[in-house]
Amino acid sequence: MPTSFLTPDQRAAFGRFTNPPSPTELARYFHLEGMELATVRQMRGAANRLGFAALLCSVRFTGSFPMRCTDIPDQVLSHLADQLDIAMPGNITGYFNSTAPTYTRHTALIRARFGYRDFHRAPEPLLGGP
């Protein structure tokens, strides 16, 4: 995606958490319900549930999937773990490996089920359009 029109600071912040979300942002972007919550609960193991929830909510908030656990503020992980009624897994770092099969499967599932698309792909034609 072209970002040459952005300042260097804006490019560095693009698609990332620049600060921990505020309480209002946590409530708005990191609240799970309905189909989201049902999908998260289908994941096996606490680390997979928390990781999937973090991917889903992070892409909603930042517009991109985090590549490392350290890219996600602790407040976000804690907020999601509380909602899922799970203790913070001791090692969630391994979940966030962009080349791991689970990470790849989960990001593909989020794109398919919740309608997120990669920017580098051509847009789908509109129905009835030219």
Cα 75 to the center of its chain, rounded Å: 14
Segments in the chain forming alpha helices (H): 8-13, 23-29, 34-41, 46-62, 74-84, 101-114
pLDDT in tens, the chain (130 residues): 556 776 776 666 666 778 899 999 999 999 999 999 999 999 998 889 999 999 999 999 988 888 888 889 999 999 999 999 988 766 677 787 767 788 889 999 999 988 877 665 545 555 655 5
**Contact present, 67 and 35 (Cβ < 8 Å):** no
What is the torsion angle, in degrees rounded to the nearest 10, for the CA atoms of residue 22, residue 84, residue 112 and residue 94? 90
